[in-house]
C-alpha cells in the first residue's frame, strides 16, 4: 500500500477502552476541531490529550495561531487516562525512535457517521508523523485514502500520511474509536515498514 503502513496488530487496547467507557465526561470538552466552520470533523467526538495549550486562546476568544509552531502540553484528560495511555504511547515512541511527542487525540465516530474528505495542512502536520491505533472498530468502519481502503481491527497500529486526501465512513453497527499519536521522527533513523513491530 502507498498511503497506509500497518506496523503492528494485536496491541492490547482493552484497558484503555474500558477506561474510556468509564469516563464519558471526557468527550467533546473542546469544540474547536469539531465545530469550526466547514470542519470535516463535525460527525465525530473527540478527547484532546495533548496539543498546544488552548487556555490563552479560549480566554481571548480568538484561535488565530493555535495550530502554529508550539511545544505541546498535556490536557486534563491525560491525568484520567494516564496509566492506560502510557502502556501504548511510549512503546510506540520507542519503536519509532521518536524525538518528540506531539498531539495525542482520541476520536469516536458513531455508526452512520464519518469524517468528510480533507487534507491536513499546517506546521503540526509537516513536523510530526501520524500514527493511528484502532481502539474499537467493526466491519464497515472504513478509512479511505485515494483508491486505498482499510478497516482496522482493534489493536492495529498504522502509520499514515495525512497530507493526502482522506476520509472515514462508519457504516458498521457500532462506534469507531481511534487513538491518534503524532511523533517527530528522524527519517534517517526510522522509516515505516509493514509489520515492523510484530
Rounded Cα–Cα distance for residues 154 and 83 (Å) = 19
**C-alpha count within 13 angstroms, C-beta hemisphere, residue 197:** 24
Give the sheet arrangement for strand 141-145, strand by strand: 114-118, 166-170, 141-145, 148-150
What pTM does this model have?
Answer: 0.93
Per-residue pLDDT of the chain (198 residues; tens, 9 = 90+): 788 999 999 999 999 999 999 999 999 998 767 666 667 776 789 999 999 999 999 899 888 899 899 999 999 999 999 999 999 999 999 999 999 999 999 999 999 999 888 888 889 989 999 999 999 999 999 999 888 999 999 999 999 988 888 889 999 999 999 999 999 999 888 999 998 887
Rounded Cα–Cα distance for residues 33 and 75 (Å) = 15
User: Hey, what domains does the chain have and what are their CATH numbers?
Assistant: 4-34+42-184 (2.60.120.330)
3-state secondary structure of 143: strand
Crossing angle of helices 76-95 and 14-21, rounded to 10°: 170
Phi-psi sector, 187: left (phi>0), alpha (psi -120 to 50), beta: alpha
Q: What pLDDT is stored for residue 34 in this prediction?
A: 66
Q: What pLDDT is stored for residue 44 in this prediction?
A: 85
Rounded Cα–Cα distance for residues 159 and 143 (Å) = 13
Closest by Cα among 162, 148, 158 to 179: 158
The answer to whether the beta carbons of residues 181 and 148 sit under 8 Å apart is no
Q: Give the burial class of 37: count Cβ atoms within 10 A of its Cβ; 0-12 exposed, 13-18 middle, 19 or more buried.
A: exposed
Rounded Cα–Cα distance for residues 78 and 83 (Å) = 9
- 74, 22, 27, 54 alpha-carbon torsion, rounded to 10°: -20
Amino acid at each position: 500500500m502507498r498511503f497506509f503502513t500497518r506496523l503492528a496488530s494485536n496491541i492490547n487496547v482493552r484497558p484503555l477502552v474500558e477506561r474510556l467507557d468509564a469516563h464519558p465526561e471526557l468527550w467533546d470538552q473542546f469544540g474547536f476541531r469539531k465545530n469550526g466552520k466547514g470542519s470535516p470533523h463535525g460527525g465525530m467526538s473527540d478527547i484532546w490529550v495533548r496539543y498546544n495549550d488552548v487556555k490563552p486562546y479560549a480566554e481571548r476568544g480568538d484561535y488565530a495561531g493555535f495550530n502554529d509552531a508550539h511545544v505541546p502540553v498535556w490536557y486534563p484528560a491525560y491525568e484520567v487516562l494516564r496509566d492506560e495511555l502510557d502502556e501504548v504511547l511510549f512503546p510506540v515512541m520507542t519503536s519509532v525512535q521518536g524525538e518528540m511527542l506531539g498531539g495525542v487525540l482520541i476520536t469516536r465516530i458513531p455508526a452512520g457517521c464519518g469524517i468528510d474528505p480533507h487534507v491536513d495542512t499546517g506546521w503540526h502536520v509537516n513536523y510530526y508523523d501520524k500514527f493511528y491505533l484502532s481502539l474499537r472498530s467493526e466491519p464497515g468502519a472504513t478509512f479511505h485514502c485515494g483508491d486505498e481502503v482499510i478497516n482496522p481491527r482493534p489493536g492495529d497500529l498504522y502509520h499514515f500520511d495525512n497530507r493526502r486526501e482522506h476520509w472515514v465512513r462508519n457504516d458498521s453497527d457500532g462506534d469507531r474509536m481511534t487513538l491518534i499519536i503524532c511523533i517527530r521522527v528522524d527519517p534517517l533513523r526510522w522509516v515505516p515498514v509493514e509489520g515492523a513491530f510484530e
